[in-house]
Amino acid sequence: MRKFILVSMAVLFQAAIVHAATPDRKPIAVVVEYTVKSGKEEELRSILREHARLTVEQEPGCLRFEVLQPVNKDGSAIPDRLMLTELYADEDAAAAHANNPRLATLLARIRPMLSKEKVTRTMVLASPTQ
């Protein structure tokens, strides 16, 4: 849980920078948590890295997209877990991503590799830079 909070805080801090520049728009941060079926970890990492790259390149409203490997307190990877943090300029940009046909294709491809999926959408309400 602490890792999730730290990752969320990092995404929200990045959103704060955007929010400070455009106070009339509320950035949207998305945190996705995956539990991966055994033997599918590296394949899924590769697919998600490419998806992150394409999203940032092709969607101007996507400000940040990271693929993260959760770790234990000792720094060792938790091999069956992956996380995504995504930051969009505003609700319109987040909706454009959600409605992108490439996302539907990606989800159809990766869902058989997953045993669990959790998506949390957040709106930046305040930040330490305000």
Number of domains in the chain: 1
pLDDT of residue 67: 99
Does residue 129 sit within a domain?
A: no
pTM of the predicted model over 0.75: yes
Could you tell me the residue range of the domain that residue 114 belongs to?
2-123
**Stretch 39-47: mean pLDDT:** 98
In a domain, 130, yes or no: no
pLDDT in tens, 90-105: 999 999 999 999 999 9
* CATH label of the domain that carries residue 101: 3.30.70.100
- What DSSP line would sit under the chain, residue for residue? -HHHHHHHHHHHHHHHHHHHH-TTS--EEEEEEEEEPTT-HHHHHHHHHHHHHHHHHH-TTEEEEEEE--B-TTS-B-TTEEEEEEEESSHHHHHHHHT-HHHHHHHHHHGGGEEEEEEEEEE----TT-
pLDDT interval class at 124 (50, 70, 90): confident
